[in-house]
Amino acid sequence: MKYFIRTPVVVRMLRRDIIWRIGKTPGNIYLTFDDGPDETVTPLVLDILNERDAKATFFCLGRNAARHPELVDRIRLEGHTLGNHSFDHLDGRRIDARTFLSNVMRAHEIIRSPLFRPPYGWISSRQIRLLGTSFHIIGWTVLPGDFDSRVSRELCLKRLYRHTRGGDIVVLHDREAYKEKLLFLLPLFLDHFITQGYRFMALERDTSGEIPKFAMDIKQP
């Protein structure tokens, strides 16, 4: 399993149709969580965030959002942002573009967010065109590997400390499988940067100037 801990500048330059970081806000860090909501992990994550007045963006799977509407409501009510991560976490490299679009729109019926993060971080130019003007495609700057069984919780935290900078979009996962690692590193990561004067913000609150020209907001209910 190979992945970049910090997305190289050349990748960000080549894929300008994806938002990789919010460079105009160097005092902010944009923490995101993929694959939830999870009935065990997500409430604990929300508690940790709220204790520190930190905001985040939750890229939810449609199937999980449908199972846990109370968590979807809590995320919104506590000032965080929802994002679409497809309905079934389908790999866009392995299915046709129309099936991919249908799966994203199925999730949109539940999540109602203009923010979309493709599963596995991969999306083709054709898939983006089919999504049209409806979504902002969100990538990331820092991927510390909380999902990687080869990476200890200490190494994952060290990667976060070393690679995170102001304006970055950081990815973690609120899934039961990664619970022990996440609950260890999350409060330490937040406290480390908060004490340095950084703020943790939800993505939709400050994306002016970072949205590709094709993108257009869909109003959330």
Q: What is the CATH number of the domain that holds 167?
A: 3.20.20.370
In a domain, 86, yes or no: yes
In a domain, 220, yes or no: no
Q: Would residue 191 show up in a list of annotated catalytic residues for this protein? A: no
Distance CA 130, CA 124 (A): 10
In a domain, 218, yes or no: no
pTM of the model: 0.92
Q: What is the pLDDT of residue 27?
A: 95
Q: Which of 17, 34, 68, 89 is catalytic?
A: 34
Q: Would residue 173 show up in a list of annotated catalytic residues for this protein? A: yes
In a domain, 78, yes or no: yes
In a domain, 199, yes or no: yes
Q: Which of 80, 108, 136, 173 is catalytic?
A: 173
Q: How many domains does the chain have?
A: 1
In a domain, 45, yes or no: yes
- CA angle 58/86/177 to nearest 5° reads 60
In a domain, 210, yes or no: no
Distance CA 43, CA 181 (A): 16
Q: What is the pLDDT of residue 207?
A: 53
The string of DSSP letters for 14-63 reads H-TTSB-B-TT-TTEEEEEEES---TTHHHHHHHHHHHTT---EEEE-HH
Question: What domain range includes position 196?
Answer: 9-205
For the chain, 221 residues long, the average pLDDT of each consecutive 10-residue run is 93 93 92 98 98 98 98 97 95 86 95 94 89 88 97 98 97 97 98 98 64 37 30
Ramachandran area for residue 206 (φ above 0: left; ψ -120 to 50: alpha; else beta): beta
In a domain, 3, yes or no: no
